[in-house]
Amino acid sequence: MQKLPYFWWMAQQQFITFIRAALTVAFLYFGLRKLLGYHVDVAIYEAIGFGQFPRYITGSVEVIGALLLWKRGVEGFAGLLLLGTMCVGLSALLIWVGPPYWHMLVLMAGCGVVAWVYRAQPLQLIR
C-alpha cells in the first residue's frame, strides 16, 4: 500500500476531528435534552408507547458515547455504540412516530465514518 503524503494525512485527521467534534456536540445536545425531560422528547417517547424509561437509557447512551468519542483507544467502539443507537432510534421513529428523521440519517453517516476510520479497535477484540 502506498504511503499518503503528509498534507493529505493531516487533512484526513482534521476532517475526522471535525466529525468527532460535531457528533459530540449533537449527541450531548440530544442526550441531555432527553435526560432533562424536554417536552418534545417526552411526547415522542409517549407516542412510542414504552413509557419514559427508554428515554433515560437512550439519553445516557448518547451522552456516554459522545464522551467516549474523545477517549483514546475506544473511538471505534463509541462510533459503533452511537451508530447502533441511531439505528434503533430511526427504526422507532419510522414505525411509531414518523418524520422528521433527516437529522438521524446525518448522525448515522457521521457515526459510520468514525466507526470505519477506527475500525481496527473493535477488530482487535475479535482476533
User: What helix, strand, coil percent values describe the chain, rounded to 5?
Assistant: 80, 0, 20
What's the domain range around 92?
Answer: 20-126
Is 8 inside any structural domain? Answer: no
Is 12 inside any structural domain? Answer: no
Question: Mean pLDDT, the chain, as a whole number?
Answer: 91
pLDDT of residue 119 exceeding 70 = yes
- Mean predicted confidence (pLDDT) in 101-108: 93
pLDDT score recorded for residue 8? 74
Is 80 inside any structural domain? Answer: yes
Is 87 inside any structural domain? Answer: yes
Domain count within the chain: 1
The Cα–Cα gap between 54 and 124 comes to 31
Is 7 inside any structural domain? Answer: no
Which tens digit of pLDDT belongs to each residue from 25-60? 999 999 999 999 999 999 888 888 888 999 999 999
pTM over 0.85: yes
Is 86 inside any structural domain? Answer: yes
- Bigger pLDDT: 78 or 1? 78
Within 8 A by CB and 6+ apart from 69, the residues are 20, 23, 24, 75, 78, 79, 82, 114
Is 6 inside any structural domain? Answer: no
pLDDT score recorded for residue 2? 59
